């Protein structure tokens, strides 16, 4: 895991310069980490894994889900400022 393995609630983040998916060039949101989130991956109990993610509230509202935040992988983010 990258430098964000130690990211904590209150840290300001943005997307890495070369994320694994396309981000519109005119949108450069900053987000605040709300906390950590664990996802259970896989249906077969013998082959499941836990993926550690972070909850982020973005400065551009449409980037947030209806719950007011999005779930992001820490390696896709860089810390702008620590809390």
Instruction: Decide if pLDDT at 33 tops 50.
Output: yes
* Total structural domains within the chain: 1
Is residue 15 a contact partner of residue 77, using CB atoms and an 8 Å limit? yes
pLDDT of residue 22: 64
Note the pLDDT of residue 4. Answer: 47
Query: Residue 72 belongs to what domain range?
Result: 3-81
pLDDT at 1 (0 to 100):
35
Tell me the pLDDT tens digit for each residue of 47-75: 999 999 999 999 999 889 999 999 998 98
DSSP track, 2-26: -GGGG--TT-EEEE-SS-SS---TT
């Amino acid at each position: 895991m990258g430098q964000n393995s130690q990211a904590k609630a209150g840290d300001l983040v943005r997307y890495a310069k070369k994320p694994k998916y396309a981000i519109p060039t005119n949108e450069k949101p900053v987000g605040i980490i709300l906390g950590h989130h664990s996802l259970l991956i896989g249906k077969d109990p013998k082959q499941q894994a836990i993926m550690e993610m972070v909850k982020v509230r973005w400065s551009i509202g449409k980037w947030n889900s209806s719950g007011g935040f999005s779930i992001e992988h820490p390696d896709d983010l860089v810390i702008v400022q620590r809390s």
